[in-house]
Amino acid sequence: MPTQFTRRQLAAVGASALGASATAAPSGAQPDDGAAAAREASRAFPAGFHWGTATAAYQIEGAVSEDGRGPSIWDTFTHTPGKIRNDDNGDVADDHYHRYRDDVQSMKALSATAYRFSVSWSRIFPQGTGAPNPKGLDFYDRLLDNLVANDIAPFPTLYHWDLPQALQDRGGWERRDTAEAFADYAGYVAEKLSDRARHFFTLNECATFVELGHATGVFAPGLKLPPGRLNQMRHHALLAHGLAVQAIRARSRAGTQTGPAENVSVCVPVVETPEHIAAAELATRELNAPYLTAIMEGRYRDSFLAAAGADAPKVAAEDMNAIGTPVDFVGINVYAPGSYVSASDAAPGFVSVPFPAKHPTMNSSWLKIGPEALYWGPRNVARVWNASDIYITENGCSATVYDTDRIMFLRSYLTQLQRATSEGVPVRGYFHWSLMDNFEWADGFATRFGLLYVDYATQRRTPKLSASFYREVAARNRLV
């Protein structure tokens, strides 16, 4: 277990650093107040910018059999031997279901002004449909009340991969009526919570739960569908998003906003020249064709349909109108560039430049370091689809307690995000993944993305070094 330290020790480290800095200043040097103010302004984020953290229900809540919650596909998957590293599961996880008040205080200590969390569908509807479970809703009522009392804005996500097992037993996302059931659930939750929550994310990362859950089988429900069935279940997931947007609008309080949270494939121009930038914008549409492009444009790209051929999804008459229902904002999860893009005279007009074998990564080998992704991701979404409001719904990396590597990661990425906002890209908030170490899907508890270290034996939370960095950025609303 990593060495733990107290907030007092963290403060001592900071004081020591400040003392060293002061000692290093030239004798007799006088500060230039005007220049210092200009420097601070050049590093600032827009007024009202939301600084938050993010979590997901199955990863933190625990209490999987309490108060009427029904099982989800992740309960089933994690209890299948060999599916998860060390055969870990989320039965207890961070015990957030019982410790949420303390966790909200941890958010407040981080100077967070927003919290993105997910609602467990099977807590609300244990069978996926039918009569709602009042005790399940009560938990989220208590959580929202506590957040609002601490001036932290709730940003619920309605689906973070934990489909009720009862729906999976009937065919899951391969069935069209699962999309309809999701819309009913989304409308019900929005009706009950929109007096306090003003922003609802529909589905988190369609691309992940479709591809990893239904193509490669490494995530729940562990299927390896052939192309035709995979494309059809993907279509149903997109339809669920669109129908949910309509249901939320119909049943929530006036002024409630809604949109997706997608792990957009970020296309970065290899060189910032007009031809490569234009190629990156084109690539943004093409490489996101099965997901965000379909949502934002209300149609499948011709290139996507041509590549699918006979395996293309069957689309009912009004499906694309539903999928393309205008959204109030776009949430994007950004960790790394999806592709470095070069312009090409040959079709389709761009080339994805391969990553070299020695491209630097963070602690997780899949996380290729590319801070510019946090500029080009939102910039391209705004430019290509004219999005008026964008949220960075996830960004972060795994790290230990003394995580100077994550401070480097955050400083580099947030510098690029500040570049975006300074140029008028309409990013309204940033949610760090994650508030605390948690059950990290197929990696179990071995990978730690939290700003807070969690001792799973005692459930003690300890701020990592990066927590002090994030707190300063959030409190000052600028880079430090």
Active site residues per annotation = 205, 394
Least Cα distance to 163 among 179, 148, 147 occurs for 179
Token pair listed for 153: 């804005």
The maximal CA–CA distance of the chain, rounded, in angstroms, is 77
Least Cα distance to 406 among 370, 451, 347, 462 occurs for 451
Rounded Cα–Cα distance for residues 112 and 396 (Å): 15
Query: Which residues 6+ apart lie within 8 Å of 479 measured at CB?
Result: 43, 411, 414, 415, 418, 473
For β-strands 350-353 and 339-343, DSSP reports them as antiparallel
Rounded Cα–Cα distance for residues 363 and 443 (Å): 13
For β-strands 257-262 and 199-204, DSSP reports them as parallel
Chain centroid to Cα 269, Å, comes to 24
- Exposed, middle or buried: residue 428 (CB in 10 Å: 0-12, 13-18, 19+)? middle
Q: 217, 224 in Cβ contact below 8 A?
A: yes
3-state secondary structure of 200: strand
- Exposed, middle or buried: residue 172 (CB in 10 Å: 0-12, 13-18, 19+)? buried
Phi, psi of 232 (to 5 degrees): -70, -40
Phi, psi of 257 (to 5 degrees): -115, 150
| Alpha helix (H) residue ranges in 194-226 | 206-214
- Exposed, middle or buried: residue 100 (CB in 10 Å: 0-12, 13-18, 19+)? buried
Question: Helices then strands (H, E): number in the chain?
Answer: 18, 13
Query: Which residues 6+ apart lie within 8 Å of 36 measured at CB?
Result: none
Rounded Cα–Cα distance for residues 475 and 242 (Å): 36
What single DSSP character describes residue 26? P
Q: 428, 391 in Cβ contact below 8 A?
A: yes
Phi, psi of 96 (to 5 degrees): -60, -25
What single DSSP character describes residue 93? T
Least Cα distance to 295 among 322, 318, 313, 263 occurs for 322
Residue type, 123: R
Could you list the beta-strand ranges (E) of 38-176: 50-54, 114-118, 153-159
